[in-house]
């Protein structure tokens, strides 16, 4: 599909001074640096994880099956939420060099009964180095707020997904409420620089739909009464499943 040029060069990482670009996940390789950065990120995310994200990850990643690719894996927070009995293989990736970090975390999972082949890869979600129809599931959580060209990433995800494959996502997006949306627009330039490239006001759901994904929104089973209905959206966090439009 033709790419909307507004998505390109959105601010990350080119306009940031080098020191600020990757404050939460420095691009340096080296186990110690990556472990410290991952620890800081996980610590800072703890309140959100306890409040809501942990439950969403449980419901979302429990659905991953077959050959699975995760992009923008960050600290590897999702690893413990996969159900290894449902996976044939797992490729964990980020565009920064976190490979030693993932390997260490995966080794620890190995103690918990994991015997799924796991590959780690340093790749850009906008240019996936895999042939068409390679995966049954692609996962991205809290990634497309900072990918330079989100439509390019979704095109790539659709390309590597098998025809009946699923894209499992969790993102934060621009609020639907007018006042909150304008507040997010106002804060975004500052937040973007402080956060190392995250955008608070992207309409990532629409970008998924424009790319050709049919998006089904998730609800937390047991909490809301229904488990996987397209219920519209009220909050800032959206999660669910996308499939290639027939």
Binding site for ligand SAM (CB under 6 A): 25, 71-74, 77, 94-96, 124-126, 141-143, 146-147
Least separation in angstroms between CB 10 and ligand SAM:
11
C-beta of 83 vs 177, nearer to ligand SAM = 83
C-beta of 179 vs 196, nearer to ligand SAM = 196
C-beta of 147 vs 160, nearer to ligand SAM = 147
C-beta of 23 vs 228, nearer to ligand SAM = 23
Q: Residue 180: helix, strand or coil by DSSP?
A: helix
Least separation in angstroms between CB 92 and ligand SAM:
10
d(CA 155, CA 213): 9
d(CA 163, CA 150): 21
Least separation in angstroms between CB 47 and ligand SAM:
13
C-beta of 67 vs 94, nearer to ligand SAM = 94
| Angle, vertex CA 59, rays to CA 57 and CA 61, nearest 5 | 60
At 242, which helix (H) or strand (E)?
Answer: strand 237-244
Cβ atoms of residues 69 and 91 within 8 Å = yes
Cβ atoms of residues 75 and 38 within 8 Å = yes
Least separation in angstroms between CB 126 and ligand SAM:
5
Least separation in angstroms between CB 192 and ligand SAM:
13
C-beta atoms surrounding 127 within 10 Å: 10
Q: Which residue is nearest to ligand SAM (CB)?
A: 74
At 182, which helix (H) or strand (E)?
Answer: helix 178-195
């Amino acid at each position: 599909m033709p790419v909307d040029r507004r998505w390109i060069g959105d601010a990350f990482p080119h306009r940031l001074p080098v020191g600020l670009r990757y404050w939460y996940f420095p691009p340096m390789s080296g186990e110690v640096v990556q472990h410290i950065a991952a620890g800081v990120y996980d610590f800072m995310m703890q309140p959100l994880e306890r409040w809501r994200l942990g439950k969403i990850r449980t419901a979302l990643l429990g659905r991953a099956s077959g050959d699975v690719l995760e992009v923008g894996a960050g600290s590897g927070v999702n690893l413990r939420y996969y159900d290894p009995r449902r996976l044939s293989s797992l490729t964990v990736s980020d565009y920064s060099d976190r490979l030693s970090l993932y390997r260490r975390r995966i080794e620890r999972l190995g103690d918990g009964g994991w015997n799924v082949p796991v590959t780690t890869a340093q790749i850009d979600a906008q240019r996936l180095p895999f042939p068409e129809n390679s995966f049954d599931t692609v996962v991205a959580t809290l990634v497309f707020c900072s990918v330079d060209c989100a439509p390019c990433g979704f095109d790539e995800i659709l390309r590597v997904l098998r025809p009946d494959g699923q894209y499992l996502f969790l993102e934060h997006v621009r609020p639907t409420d007018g006042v909150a949306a304008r507040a997010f627009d106002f804060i975004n330039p500052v937040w973007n620089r402080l956060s190392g490239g995250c955008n608070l006001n992207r309409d990532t759901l629409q970008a998924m739909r424009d790319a050709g994904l049919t998006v089904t929104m998730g609800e937390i089973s047991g909490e809301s009464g229904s488990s996987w209905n397209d219920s519209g959206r009220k909050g800032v966090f959206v999660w669910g499943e996308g499939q290639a439009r027939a």
